[in-house]
Amino acid sequence: MKASIKYIFFIAFVIVAHSCINNTEEPMFTDSFDRSEMLEFWANDIIIPGYTDYVSKLAELDEAATDFYGDSSDLSLSTLRETWLDAYKVWQAVSLFEIGKAEEIGLRNFTNIYPANIDLITENINSGASNLDLPSNFVSQGFPALDYMLYGSGSNDAVIAYLLQEEVKNYTQALITRLRDLSSSVLEDWMTGYKDEFISNNGSSGTASTDKMVNDFLFHYERFLRAAKVGIPAGVFSGNTEAELVEGRYSQIYSKELFESGFTAVQAFFNGQSYDGQKQGSSLKQYLDKIHLDNSTDLDYSESIIAQWDSAERALEDINNNFGAQVIEDNSKMLALYDELQKAVVLLKVDMLQALNIQVDFVDADGD
């Protein structure tokens, strides 16, 4: 419980600190890059297709839950778990786009604050009524709560018996419905007006779409990929390993797979790879390459970033599928992965932002 409270406090602090400032410094480099083209590619080929797939995966999860309650067998439980994991992995691909409606409603907070608070989940189930809009319920819903409900009871028989309790059934279905409703509202907003607003806001200031998206991208990488998935369980900030704080704590074998999904999405966004993987488009990599070419800079920023991420990929290879087990068995490998991820923070947060003349709009809470 103490660990959960500590992690909630950490997340609350960095989210409150995530406030915008305007860019007032003179640019270091000549910049003739077409931001509109990049914004259009981001919206049409990465963000909207990602959310479309995410909403679809949640519909499949909802259908699998309905099927499970119609025929509660090992097979239907397995299907329910598979659709939960499929949706959870797609969430990793869209969670970095905390902008527009997603930012307005705090989508990330209601979707993936972990670990789940089991006492609060039990209290909500037993009461038969809970206001899931409340910040106090961040840790009683979303994918981490479903992780506990689908795996936390132990054997398949025990999980099925737990899920078939009427109050648990109602809560499970409420959690899935809430995920669908929240994600659908974000997708609808992109499709019915926000896309045009996002693309047309193509200037170079603290409130422009590129500046905001780049900051959100960096904030996501630093806080929710590097720190939450790796650094916190490995004890980087507390000095003590905390295996219970890994993502996918109760399913136990998916923390590495979830990290990989998130890390792949980060790299694809930077490199300008479309969500379906079939198209290369205008990107931060191209932006940095043009700055490099136009200004004859000594440093090739994009290649440095990509090379550093390759190093992180190599560090990941030797790590257990269960980050919690890895922390307990040999935490040095988790710390090595964190170090490689951290080296990219400097390249992104200093070199990239200086080259693009973008100001950091969030407060660093861990000394980086």
Evaluate if residue 299 carries a pLDDT over 80: no
Evaluate if residue 296 carries a pLDDT over 70: no
**Model pLDDT, residue 168:** 97
**Model confidence band, residue 223 (pLDDT cutoffs 50, 70, 90):** very high
pLDDT one-digit tens code per residue, 230-280: 999 999 999 999 999 999 999 999 999 999 999 999 999 999 999 999 999
Gap between the Cα atoms of 206 and 141, Å rounded: 33
At residue 239, the 3 state secondary structure works out as coil
pLDDT one-digit tens code per residue, 11-68: 443 443 443 334 445 556 557 799 999 999 999 999 999 999 999 999 999 999 999 9
Highest mean pLDDT, choosing among 131-140, 299-308, 356-365: 131-140
Average pLDDT over residues 339-349: 96
**Model confidence band, residue 7 (pLDDT cutoffs 50, 70, 90):** very low
List phi, psi (to 5°) of 237: -95, -25
Q: Show the domains of the chain with their CATH numbers.
A: 2-356 (1.20.1420.20)
pLDDT one-digit tens code per residue, 266-275: 999 999 999 9
Percent of the chain with pLDDT over 70: 89
The DSSP code sequence of 122-161 is HHHHHHS---TTSGGGGGGSHHHHHHHHHHTTSSHHHHHH
